[in-house]
Amino acid sequence: MRCVAGVTLCYSTRKNSLMTRDEYIELYEKLLAGKCTAEEKELIESYKDDFDWSEKPWGEEMGDKDEIRQVIYKQLRQNLQPKKKSTIRYVFRVAAAAAMLGLALTASLYLLRQQRKTNGKEAPGALVKQVIVPGTNKAILKLSNGATIELDSTHSGVFAKDEGVEIRQTAEGQIAYKKNQKLSSASTINTLSTPVGGQYQLRLEDGTEVWLNAASSISFPTAFSDKERSVEVKGEVYFEVKRDPSKPFKVTFNGNTITVLGTHFNVMAYEDEDLNRVTLLEGSVNLSNASSQSKLVPGQQAVVNRRTSAIENRKVNVEEAIAWKKGFFFFENENIESIMRKLSRWYNTTTDYQGDMKGKEFSGTVSRFENISEVLDLLEETGSIHYKIKARRITIMP
């Protein structure tokens, strides 16, 4: 067992363990997002005893549990500050791990809080942060007849039919399409849209898997034609395309077209971003528009300038592009404005800036399932920025 920063946050390091700590964290993130299968839930339960959860039963006399939790986070960050103040990567990883594995709120922390009160160092409400909770699984499905259906994780089984195509929600919370065998061509279009603060999963009629990030949409035929498979997206969407050499799969966005046969890739095409990005994980991708074209290999990202339509290929860390799908924010030398756009879409907030934000870049990884204050606190710990929250408006200051 290994303990971090004097806090009883421990995890198993047995050589014979079948699941690493990072794998456990990722699976636990999936559980929090409501995306675990029955088998995965059973796997998490079977590993419960591998971790020291030694949390003392919490009594009212021990004070506010959320306040004590803030104290633990502060201790973790103080004891594990990176050598370079310009990066918060390690701090982010520690905070994410703490959030996923659970914080042991022991009697020692209660004594610490009581001591602070006795010394008169604790101002009333000093540790209280405004709670802005993260997004959830929610979306709106628009059928071909114009009818709309609000979706969330509570749906299950068949809930609609559209021109001979059955629409249902799986136990994992995924919308799935299944066409009638007699239906030979695609004649109707559906649109799945996520609001700000929402995400959703979709399985198209051909078996292609689709993940939608917040403030995104995909328009698609309820059943594909015999010649090609074509969809249109906005926002950020991840695809695992079912391979079919006889029927190319095409994704259009902002005047660009991606053509594939079967592959895994991520499209980031928000209206408020100057650059659109296509990141390839597996297979191959052809990207084209009116003035440029490019072919990607795994590990590459095509960056499209929305003003000029120019395409530039780059070698990238693909984990950054798909971190949102796995339940994380991943920042790598990213400026504060870009970071706040991501946070605003997920937490449904707006951002104001005071002072010069030039040169304020950050790297780090943190869970998408924390109160937004947890993320902002980590940014603030670098000393580069400060923030304040009023209602759902965040002000960033030097």
In the chain, domain spans: 2-118, 136-321, 327-397
b/e per residue 68-90 (b: at least 16 CB within 10 A): bbbbbbebbbeeeeeeeeebbbb
Pair 396, 352: CB distance under 8 Å: yes
Q: Residue 16: is its pLDDT beyond 60?
A: no
Count of alpha carbons within 13 angstroms of residue 353, beta-carbon side: 14
Count of alpha carbons within 13 angstroms of residue 182, beta-carbon side: 2
Q: Residue 58: is its pLDDT beyond 90?
A: no
Using one digit for the tens of pLDDT, what is the confidence trace for 63-96?
555 555 555 445 444 443 433 333 443 344 333 3
Using one digit for the tens of pLDDT, what is the confidence trace for 147-159?
999 999 777 789 9
**For tokens 């390690």, what's the residue?**
90
CATH topology (fold) of 136-321: Jelly Rolls (2.60.120)
Residue 226's pLDDT is 83
Pair 98, 76: CB distance under 8 Å: yes
**For tokens 């190319």, what's the residue?**
248
Mean pLDDT, range 351-378, rounded to an integer: 90
CATH topology (fold) of 327-397: Phage tail protein beta-alpha-beta fold (3.55.50)
Average pLDDT value over all residues in the chain: 78
Using one digit for the tens of pLDDT, what is the confidence trace for 166-204?
999 998 889 999 887 665 555 689 999 999 999 999 999
Using one digit for the tens of pLDDT, what is the confidence trace for 214-223?
999 999 999 9
Rounded Cα gap, residues 111 and 144, in angstroms: 62
